[in-house]
Amino acid sequence: MSEVIKQSLSELVENIKSKKLSSSEVTKAFVERSEKSKELNAYITEDYANALNKAKKFDEKPNLDLKLPGIPMAVKDLFCTKDLRTTAGSKILNNFVPTYESTVTQNIWNEGAILMGKLNCDEFAMGSSNETSFFGNVQNPIDKNLVPGGSSGGSSSAVAAQLTPITIGTDTGGSIRQPSSFTGTVGLKPTYGSCSRYGIVAFASSLDQAGPMAQNVKDCALLQEVISTYDEKDSTSIDFKRNEYSKELTKDIKGKKIGIPKEYRVDGMPKEIEDLWKKGIEYAKDCGAEIIDISLPHTNYALPTYYIVAPAEASSNLARYDGVKYGFRAEGENLIDMYEKTRSEGFGAEVQRRIMIGTYVLSSGYYDAYYLKAQKVRKLIKNDFDDAYNKVDAILTPSTPSSAFKIGEKTNDPVSMYLNDIFTVPVNLAGLPGISIPAGHDAKGYPLGLQIIGKAFDEQNILNIAYAMEEKINFKNNITDWWIK
């Protein structure tokens, strides 16, 4: 048996079920590894002592029929966890201790997993590099001073560095898939309505989805099976028949039709990405898939649409942070002054920028020109996918237009930062599932990912394609533990 922290989630589950390992042994190993890895800054809040206690309790009376028996897990700090501080990476929630649990995390604990702590993220999930967090940058374990992607940057860093066997993130425009791509890990953004949004700090409610971030496709399928449930506490949760994704996982994708959208060949895309995509097409063919050229004509309009819709919804959602009911309060001369100072001191620059954009596009006289226009273009983008899915079963694209960049490289140019999400944003706008799998390295040795986009509710299909391709790709992450002294 290999070292505990090197084992995949599926191996750990197997070893706990067959009593080769106890929950305490596993939890202790990941806690020790996390403690040695503070330089990555992946955690905002650690809960190690409680985790070790819970593991001990689990071992005293183990329920080995559960899907995640005694498995320790750290989660993105956007999920409300009862009695454990939840900050959303923001100063304004620095002291917020939820009195309730998010549905997604509750589903995870119900299957026997144990909370280890809360992982760093961009403030209110607004960012592509984890640099907007009030709690500081996160290091990518791939290389020093490299961003881990964002907004689920603490999550991607923690999974790649093996501080947690698996984790969950949230994805509004690419916040699971882009950090997964930057760290050589697997990330799934499920269909909108698949995972409950109850108890997740809201960013843009028509786009937000929670999903698994894992070392491999099988682990990803197992966690998706656990977190995807119908929930009456989320009015947009959808009641559809959910698969047992990990049990039904198969590498047989013979005859599956995979579309290649020509519009994703964007100007200025590095040759490495183009080559990776070509390689991906060959892998898919090797697995028996049929490759079909398709067109998604409104692809170029997705980012501008997103940067109206997401800030508009955010400006509305974040109106609740007023210094009255919870969170940080700045003193003011009167009520309005208190609101304005609280929000000015409590929110970081990127969040303020997006609230201002959102307020502007929803304001009197501009609503039709911006917000309504964006909703109409969003319809055209969704129609593109509907048309494509008359011809194909899934779509293959690169996950990102580049590999991970250095900390500080893009912080002064918001638009160049936004371009990171060019291949992931259309999927959120159309509400579809998308998975990023590691598929190669660039010249610097940094990981690159491929994205497989599915039909709504067809997670099983893209998981299967990813599972088949993963075997052919045989990706190895090159992590040297440089941060451990």
Partner 1 sequence: MSIDLKTIKHISKLSRISVDEKKAEKLAGDLNSIFDFIEKLNELKTDNVEPLTSVAETTLKLRSDEVKSKNLRDQVIKNSPKENEDYFVVPKVIE
Among 14, 39, 232, 282, which residue sits at the site for partner 1 (rule: CB under 8 A)?
A: 232
Which one from 76, 118, 189, 218 is the annotated catalytic residue?
A: 76
| Shortest spacing between CB 336 and partner 1, in angstroms | 7
Q: Tell whether residue 483 is a contact of partner 1 (CB under 8 A).
A: no
Decide whether 2 or 412 has the Cβ nearer to partner 1.
412
Structure token pair of residue 97:
């201790």
| Shortest spacing between CB 259 and partner 1, in angstroms | 19
* 364 labelled catalytic: no
Q: Return the exposure string of 164-187: e unless at least 16 CB atoms fall within 10 Å of the residue's CB, then b.
A: bbbbbbbbbbbbbbbbbbbbbbbb
Q: Tell me how far apart the alpha carbons of residues 102 and 368 are, in angstroms, rounded to a whole number.
A: 35
CB contact at 8 A, 437 and 183: no
- Which residue blocks in 249-292 are alpha helix, DSSP H? 271-286
Angle between helices 349-362 and 335-346 (to 10 degrees): 120
CB contact at 8 A, 385 and 431: no
* 175 labelled catalytic: yes
Q: Tell me how far apart the alpha carbons of residues 183 and 477 are, in angstroms, rounded to a whole number.
A: 8
Amino acid symbol at 12: L
Rounded alpha-carbon distances, angstroms, from residue 125 to 172, 313, 329, 346: 8, 13, 21, 15
Q: Tell whether residue 379 is a contact of partner 1 (CB under 8 A).
A: yes
**Which residues does residue 441 pair with via DSSP β-bridges, in sequence order?**
447
| Shortest spacing between CB 331 and partner 1, in angstroms | 8
Among 53, 110, 145, 300, which residue sits at the site for partner 1 (rule: CB under 8 A)?
A: 300
Decide whether 2 or 235 has the Cβ nearer to partner 1.
235
Amino acid symbol at 320: R
Decide whether 9 or 202 has the Cβ nearer to partner 1.
202
Decide whether 64 or 324 has the Cβ nearer to partner 1.
324
Which one from 129, 133, 151, 196 is the annotated catalytic residue?
A: 151
Q: Tell me how far apart the alpha carbons of residues 18 and 21 are, in angstroms, rounded to a whole number.
A: 8
Among 14, 239, 248, 386, which residue sits at the site for partner 1 (rule: CB under 8 A)?
A: 239
Q: Tell me how far apart the alpha carbons of residues 144 and 5 are, in angstroms, rounded to a whole number.
A: 21
Which one from 8, 37, 152, 175 is the annotated catalytic residue?
A: 175
Decide whether 63 or 300 has the Cβ nearer to partner 1.
300
Site size for partner 1, by CB under 8 A? Answer: 70
Length in residues, the chain: 485
Distance of CA 406 to the CA centre of its chain: 20
| Shortest spacing between CB 39 and partner 1, in angstroms | 31
Q: Is the peptide bond before 151 cis (omega within 30 degrees of 0)?
A: yes
Q: Tell me how far apart the alpha carbons of residues 122 and 36 are, in angstroms, rounded to a whole number.
A: 23
CB contact at 8 A, 407 and 140: no
Q: Tell whether residue 88 is a contact of partner 1 (CB under 8 A).
A: no
Distance of CA 209 to the CA centre of its chain: 8
Decide whether 162 or 424 has the Cβ nearer to partner 1.
424
DSSP-derived letter for residue 78 is: T
**Of residues 319-348, those binding partner 1 (CB under 8 A):** 319, 322-329, 332-341, 343-344, 347
**Of residues 433-472, those binding partner 1 (CB under 8 A):** 456
How is 446-471 classified by DSSP, letter by letter?
-EEEEEEEE-TT-HHHHHHHHHHHHH
Which of these ranges, 132-140, 279-287, 318-326, 389-397, lies near partner 1 under the rule CB under 8 A?
A: 318-326
**Block residue for tokens 């009030």:** 134
Among 57, 242, 257, 373, which residue sits at the site for partner 1 (rule: CB under 8 A)?
A: 373
Decide whether 159 or 427 has the Cβ nearer to partner 1.
427
| Shortest spacing between CB 372 and partner 1, in angstroms | 6
* 295 labelled catalytic: no
Round to the nearest angstrom and report the end-to-end CA distance of the chain.
Answer: 26
**Of residues 97-156, those binding partner 1 (CB under 8 A):** 97, 99-100
Among 3, 18, 19, 235, which residue sits at the site for partner 1 (rule: CB under 8 A)?
A: 235
| Shortest spacing between CB 314 and partner 1, in angstroms | 11
Decide whether 54 or 298 has the Cβ nearer to partner 1.
298
Rounded alpha-carbon distances, angstroms, from residue 74 to 26, 120, 358: 13, 10, 32
| Shortest spacing between CB 312 and partner 1, in angstroms | 12
Residues involved in catalysis: 76, 151, 175
Q: What residue ranges bind partner 1 (CB under 8 A)? A: 95-97, 99-100, 192-193, 206, 232, 235-236, 238-239, 298, 300-301, 303-305, 307-308, 315, 319, 322-329, 332-341, 343-344, 347, 352-353, 355-357, 359-360, 363, 370, 372-380, 382, 414-415, 418, 429-431, 456
